Amino acid sequence: MKKIRDRVAALQKLLAARHIQAYVVPSSDPHQSEYVADAWKRREYISGFTGSAGLFACTQNEAGLWTDGRYWVQGEAELKDTGIQLFKQGDAGVPDWKEWMLRSLKAGDRVGFHPHLFSLDQHQAMEASLKAGGIELLACEPDLVDEVWAADRPAIPRAPLREHRMEHAGESFGQKWVRLKSVLRERKAQALVISALDELAWFLNLRGADVGYNPVFYGFALVEEKRVSVFVDGPKVSESLRQSFGKDVSFLPYEALASSLSNLSKDLPVWLDPATSSYAVAKVLRDAAIPILRDVSPLPAWKAKKNAAELAGMRAAHVRDGVALLRFWRWFEAEAPKGELDEIKVADVLEQFRAKEQHFRGPSFASIAGFAGHGALPHYRSTAESNVKLKAPGIFLLDSGGQYDDGTTDITRTFALGQPTAKQKEVYTRVLKGHLLLARSEFPQGTNGYQLDVLARQPLWQFGLDYGHGTGHGVGAALCVHEGPFSVSLRKNMIALEEGHILSNEPACYFVGEFGVRIENLITVVKKTKTAFGEFLGFEDLTVFPYDRRLIELSYLSDEERKQVDRYHTKVVAALSPFLNAEEQAFLHEWCAPL
Amino acid sequence: MKKIRDRVAALQKLLAARHIQAYVVPSSDPHQSEYVADAWKRREYISGFTGSAGLFACTQNEAGLWTDGRYWVQGEAELKDTGIQLFKQGDAGVPDWKEWMLRSLKAGDRVGFHPHLFSLDQHQAMEASLKAGGIELLACEPDLVDEVWAADRPAIPRAPLREHRMEHAGESFGQKWVRLKSVLRERKAQALVISALDELAWFLNLRGADVGYNPVFYGFALVEEKRVSVFVDGPKVSESLRQSFGKDVSFLPYEALASSLSNLSKDLPVWLDPATSSYAVAKVLRDAAIPILRDVSPLPAWKAKKNAAELAGMRAAHVRDGVALLRFWRWFEAEAPKGELDEIKVADVLEQFRAKEQHFRGPSFASIAGFAGHGALPHYRSTAESNVKLKAPGIFLLDSGGQYDDGTTDITRTFALGQPTAKQKEVYTRVLKGHLLLARSEFPQGTNGYQLDVLARQPLWQFGLDYGHGTGHGVGAALCVHEGPFSVSLRKNMIALEEGHILSNEPACYFVGEFGVRIENLITVVKKTKTAFGEFLGFEDLTVFPYDRRLIELSYLSDEERKQVDRYHTKVVAALSPFLNAEEQAFLHEWCAPL
């Protein structure tokens, strides 16, 4: 990998010339996004490593890349012969990049970083670690990688924006601004900076196409009592869109945020959310002697609590998604026995079926289509090299989703090809039991996902089984397929579930080299009952698509569970039938007959 | 209540004379005990309020008492005409005592407190609140209440100590000291101060009788590398006991702790656990310029993890306790239909049955014997005024336990008198389902009680039911019936359950004015399986006593649950039968027949 060696050498030469002893390149963009546009893929450019999570760091003569368990195999392959050492994050005895630097550097040395790519929280943690070793942090702007990358670096995307219409948004930008103004007054802040792209899209009721899978656009907003300044590059915003916001909203260039910030009053603080605001934004304020209110923004919690229009849109999108999946499944059941399908082909065909549905914009993430042993890799992505044919017998895990104008979907089904083994049926049924227990659970207001997570795992734990990821993540309404601020997981997230939250319910079980099972529906939190003992919440399924009954071992299901599956299948039939022709309806009925 | 008025007036006069604007009197003793000896019942003396939890505070012309929901009714009755205002802690809009003081006092005012009665953590919280209002804290020694109490104050108890024999302790004092020395070296501390009475009793393998229900004794220990100083009043320790500890252990008067502390080296810190060490102890060290290591002591975690001998003792004690309860139950079933039993009588007879068992020392807490509506008060204690006759039909909640030389028991059973109603059977069965689900649950190492709590509640939540207390508390081995550091509860206790932990499993449901159901067994954490997915733990019941089958609505139990009850009853028969005569065995068999 001479290309990569040359790039790292060029960066190290720059370091030497500028008397900087080390440099760190994270995966992020200036908005702390999970998915970033090509313009920000500096870490990928400098290291050649294409995984979604990873951090590159180098001194003047050594270089390393840190990534988690999902990407160790890929990291080893991609870093081969680059001279970059792979550090398996989370493996016993492996230093994190700060520990590695502390070992290589000496007091007084300087570590360069790009100030836009580290949140305030991340910067604080980095500073605390490195300062303990007497090492200084040096904000480098422009980024040193950009000096190497130079002419080839892709431009920041400028896809045009579109309105997210009121019928889907349910609350106008003006109403959201009124809510935010009241909190600004309460907190005695003159303004809030919105850095996270999904918060920006939600707040403005705008959608974009700057980033794969997520209908967001690059920009910031500075929200004050009397005006809102939106920093997006000019060509993105049509004149009519601009005018629809009225005179109190100005659209300024992406790069103009800094100068707008430094012109603010010094009398009242500017509110920054330390999880999403970059160190660079805080630095502009500090340099201008403007006080900072450093606290969680109210937007993630508001965005998470879906209103009636958003819920209606999500339901409608899930019906269309179910119809597309059902047509796909009919095709799949006809084709699979021929033994000629492969993982990539199946994912492509599924996308074509979705694309026929109204309001479809694209997939909500890269489909995970894993046959046999590939199904045991929770984040598997089939490539030209890994792609395999689907040959019965075997089981096939398919995790996919769509972006629609009115909603976002995310569903996993595990399908049987040929006769499943007793072990496969047992594992599938135990996963299903956890999925059903969480789905039917009721709980008092104030209960959080850390408490409920055990319900999805208990039927597995009982037999020494488990899965190494969360049970549920928040999902945006026609927005990102992963959002916060709550989760259902072994991670200590103590944010209570509230009516209107939308999340995934996806217990799983993976047997390395053999097969994987995951069953995922999106569910929404609804009110259940109010008694002398409190107000109780529960869940309602949004996803409408049958489970593969060939994988259910009936003797492991209780009567209650069997009835729950039957009820769910009845609901699926009712939801999808109106949109299906007679043959499709017959196919659906067969899969949804009582167990 | 002239007596109380006079006492408060005398205290207020003292405050005026000493230029102290307010005074605070908590319920605690210098060891942060849950149960305190009469000598420390200053709050009860000054206010007349006899509840176990409460805090008295007064300014020079006002006085208040703060207590939680368990004691509001009792507080209202006992404070009547005393001039002391009742503050219902936890009720909406009720200020806590610090807020109340901040409203009454002005900057520069002084609040007096007894420095032995506040832990370091409590002192820190109190200081943070009051300092915000410019109010100073003034340590008062002797306690101002004692100046009013004067001659009548009961002496600090001096019951003689006894050895907790190796066959029950399983680890000698010497072995425990070796473990502690190694941690002291690791933490570079010269000594640890043991303040909590159960930690002291556990560490020294000694038991006492200074406090009701708990086999502990008043004292402190100062544990160093080369010697251990035990501060207990002389007459408590026999010469032979003293000599059994060898020359490196000295027994000094209770009051000598301060002088021993101030003579320590100034070079290395002394370790204080801020949850149990008093402000007074820390102050002695600070005044002597001795550094403090402020951190959780390792003792509570060591004490919680029972060794083989402790587990064997707990099992043996539970068998004897089960035999006593069974004989009691036979008597109860014969007598109850006559309609002449009352709550106090029943609790007394139960204690007599326990007292016939070997190694019995006394009850482990005041029995809760609540018929009908009284069963709905989780902490009910029958008094001459509240006592009622047990008249069928109705249900009867009985929560009791014993202290034995080899173990501590705590069991709740709810019994039917006459024909239970459908509602009573439904509620009992739903409580039982939660109790059974927690008992049979398995979980990976690292799981904590906050995560598992939902298992006991879920079968109730599902029907809008709940209970307002924890599901499980730790239990000492021949020690206090409540101990830490873990719990199974809605409180965010994140301490993982470990093999050898002993805890209660006591879900419940209360219908105010009607009846209460609680079902409690003690359980111990055991290893279950080790798989590719981790090491799994589970529970084993220690309590061996039947559930009242008359209250079980079979149609609400799954096959799995029915089998679980049958298995448990088979175990009860096997455990108790060897100690029962033929008639008693026949009685037991009847209650333990398959459901």
pLDDT digits (tens, 9 = 90+) for B433-452: 999 999 999 999 999 999 99
Residues B6-49: pLDDT tens digits?
Answer: 999 999 999 999 999 999 999 999 999 988 999 999 999 999 99
Cβ contact, residue pair A464, B529, below 8 Å: yes
Which two structure tokens, joined as six digits, stand for B442?
């398995």
Residue B132 has a pLDDT of 87
How high does pLDDT run on average in chain B?
96
Q: Which residues of B touch A536 (CB under 8 A)?
A: 461, 464
pLDDT of residue B379 exceeding 90: no
Mean per-residue pLDDT for B523-527?
98
Give the pLDDT band of residue A21 (cuts 50, 70, 90): very high
How far, in Å, CA of A163 to CA of A309, rounded? 15
pLDDT of residue B152 exceeding 90: no
Q: Which residue of A has its CA nearest to B449?
A: A451
Give the pLDDT band of residue A97 (cuts 50, 70, 90): very high
Q: How far is A93 from chain B (nearest CA, A)?
A: 20
More confident residue, B575 or B378: B575
How far, in Å, CA of B424 to CA of B70, rounded? 23
pLDDT of residue A377 exceeding 80: yes
Mean per-residue pLDDT for A142-165?
90
| Partner-chain residue, chosen from B443, B466, B534, that has the shortest CB–CB distance to A533 | B466
The C-alpha angle B377, B382, B388, rounded to 5 degrees, equals 95
- For residues A456 and A583, is the Cβ–Cβ distance under 8 A? no
A20 Cβ contact list (under 8 Å, min separation 6): A14, A110, A111, A112, A138, A140, A144
| Partner-chain residue, chosen from A455, A464, A530, that has the shortest CB–CB distance to B531 | A464
Q: Which of A67, A101, A103, A64 is nearest to A85 (CA)?
A: A64
Residue A554 has a pLDDT of 97
For chain B, what percent of residues have pLDDT higher than 70? 100
Q: Which residues of A touch B442 (CB under 8 A)?
A: 461-462, 464
Q: How far is A147 from chain B (nearest CA, A)?
A: 47
Give the pLDDT band of residue B166 (cuts 50, 70, 90): very high
How far, in Å, CA of A575 to CA of B142, rounded? 76
Mean per-residue pLDDT for B474-483?
98
Interface-testing mutation among A451, A528, A560, A563, with chain B (most B C-beta atoms within 10 A): A451
pTM of the model: 0.94
Residues B78-107: pLDDT tens digits?
Answer: 999 999 999 999 888 999 999 999 999 999
Size of interface A-B (CB pairs under 8 A): 76
Q: How many CA atoms lie within 13 A of B127 on its CB side?
A: 12
State the Rg of chain A over Cα.
25
| Partner-chain residue, chosen from A464, A528, A536, that has the shortest CB–CB distance to B533 | A464
pLDDT of residue B247 exceeding 80: yes
Lowest average pLDDT, out of A83-92, A560-569, B580-589, goes to A83-92
Interface-testing mutation among A426, A461, A512, with chain B (most B C-beta atoms within 10 A): A461
Mean per-residue pLDDT for A390-406?
97
Cβ contact, residue pair A461, B442, below 8 Å: yes
Residue A349 has a pLDDT of 98
Q: Which residue of B has its CA nearest to A538?
A: B462
| Partner-chain residue, chosen from B453, B455, B466, that has the shortest CB–CB distance to A534 | B466
Q: Which residue of A has its CA nearest to B559?
A: A558
Q: How far is A106 from chain B (nearest CA, A)?
A: 27
Residue B378 has a pLDDT of 87
Interface-testing mutation among B461, B465, B509, B531, with chain A (most A C-beta atoms within 10 A): B461
Mean per-residue pLDDT for A536-542?
98
Mean per-residue pLDDT for A163-167?
97
What angle, 0 to 180 degrees and rounded to 10, lies between the N-to-C axes of helices A308-335 and A582-592? 90
Residue B236 has a pLDDT of 83
Q: Which residues of A touch B559 (CB under 8 A)?
A: 558
Q: Chain B residues contacting A, CB < 8 Å?
A: 440-444, 447, 450-455, 458, 461-462, 464-466, 490, 492, 494, 512, 528-534, 536, 558-560
Type and span of the H or E element at A530: strand A521-531
Cβ contact, residue pair A560, B560, below 8 Å: no
Give the pLDDT band of residue B73 (cuts 50, 70, 90): confident
Lowest average pLDDT, out of A68-82, A420-434, B354-368, goes to A68-82
Residue A150 has a pLDDT of 80
Mean per-residue pLDDT for A117-137?
95
pLDDT of residue B240 exceeding 90: yes
Residues A490-525: pLDDT tens digits?
Answer: 999 999 999 999 999 999 999 999 999 999 999 999
Type and span of the H or E element at A200: helix A197-204
Residue A379 has a pLDDT of 86
pLDDT of residue B1 exceeding 80: no
Residue A74 has a pLDDT of 86
- For residues B154 and B36, is the Cβ–Cβ distance under 8 A? no
How far, in Å, CA of B23 to CA of B56, rounded? 8
| Partner-chain residue, chosen from B455, B458, B465, that has the shortest CB–CB distance to A533 | B465
Residues A1-6: contacts with CB within 8 Å, 24+ apart? A1/A48, A1/A80, A1/A81, A1/A82, A3/A48, A4/A46, A4/A47, A4/A48, A4/A82, A4/A83, A4/A84, A5/A82, A5/A83
Start-to-end CA distance of chain A, whole Å, equals 56
Cβ contact, residue pair A451, B450, below 8 Å: yes
pLDDT of residue B348 exceeding 90: yes
Residue A323 has a pLDDT of 98
Residues A231-254: pLDDT tens digits?
Answer: 999 778 999 999 999 999 999 999
Mean per-residue pLDDT for A348-360?
98
Q: Which residues of A touch B441 (CB under 8 A)?
A: 458, 461-462
